[in-house]
Structure 1
Amino acid sequence: MRAIRIFFLVILAIVLILLAVANRDLVTVSLLPEAFAPFAGGQWSLTMPAFVALFLAMVFGVLVGLVWEWLRESHLRAESNRRAQHLADLQREVGHLRKTHAAPRDEVLAILDEAPARKPAVQPAGANLPATR
């Protein structure tokens, strides 16, 4: 499994390096439309190699996807936490019930339950044989 992961990472690195070498031309990325730039003040465009713009777009897409899924699955995490809490409560209740219902109801039974099982004493070799006539 580790070899497959390393192989995949090497292939990914090669593809990304080839992509970067093939897209070295400078591009200008505008962050605001030109009509709104005077109102915002400053320069709202960046000049960078094309592969940097592509990599930033991929990273931004991955981050947006992660946040989107995290928000979408928040109700599942909340339900899982509620069920885990309910399970812990039930386990605590079962443990309490085992202690209370497994307790003997009579003092004599309590004494018998607490006494260790006694093994019979070792008998002599011929003790189990029937009596001779």
Structure 2
Amino acid sequence: MKTLRYAFWGLVALCLVLVGLANTEVVLLRAMPPALASLLGISPDIEIPLFMAIFLGVGVGLFIGFLWEWIREHKNRAEGRAKAREAAQLRRELDRLKDMDGDGKDDVLQLVERT
């Protein structure tokens, strides 16, 4: 199974390298339209290779997706923590009830030993 996983990630890496080599020309990325940039007097432009623009776009998209999912799952994580606290409390109460006389021995075994 590890071989299959390594082969898959090797194929992904090969594809990324091929995309990078095929898209080395420099492109101009603009953060806002030229009309708005001239109106505001700022022009946040950057020139980078096309493969970097592609990879940055994919990376930012993945980050936004992971963040969105993490925020969406907050309710489930909080509920899981509450259930874990409740289970720990019930486990402590069960241990306390098993040992009502406080000597640390099993009550059933004490009853059997008495007879």
Shorter-chain TM band: 0.7 to 0.9
Residues of 2 paired with 1:85 and 1:36: CA distance?
A: 54
- Larger Cα-atom Rg: 1
Determine the C-alpha separation between the residues in 1 that align with 2:72 and 2:33: 31
Q: Tell me whether 1:71 sits opposite 2:71 in the alignment.
A: yes
TM-score normalised by structure 1 residue count: 0.72
Runs of at least 5 residues in structure 1 that lack an aligned partner in the other structure: 114-133
Q: Deviations over 1:3-26 (max 9, x none)?
A: 111101110111011101111111
Give the paired residue count. Answer: 107
Report the Cα distance in structure 1 between the residues aligned to 2:21 and 2:70, rounded to whole angstroms: 35
Summarize deviations over 1:28-71 as a string: whole Å, max 9, x none. Answer: 11012223324263x30111111010000000000000000000
What is aligned with 1:87? 87
More helix by share: 2
TM-score, length-normalised on structure 2? 0.83
CA distance in 2 between counterparts of 1:33 and 1:8 reads 40
* 1:96 CA displacement: 0.4
Partner of 1:100: 100
The alignment's C-alpha RMSD in Å is 2.1
From the superposition, tell whether residues 48 and 98 of structure 1 become closer, same or farther in structure 2 (CA, over 3 Å): same
Deviation of the 1:103 alpha carbon: 5.1
> C-alpha distance in 2, partners of 1:54/1:27?
11
- Residues 32 and 94 (structure 1), Cα distance of their counterparts in 2 relative to 1, 3 Å cut: same
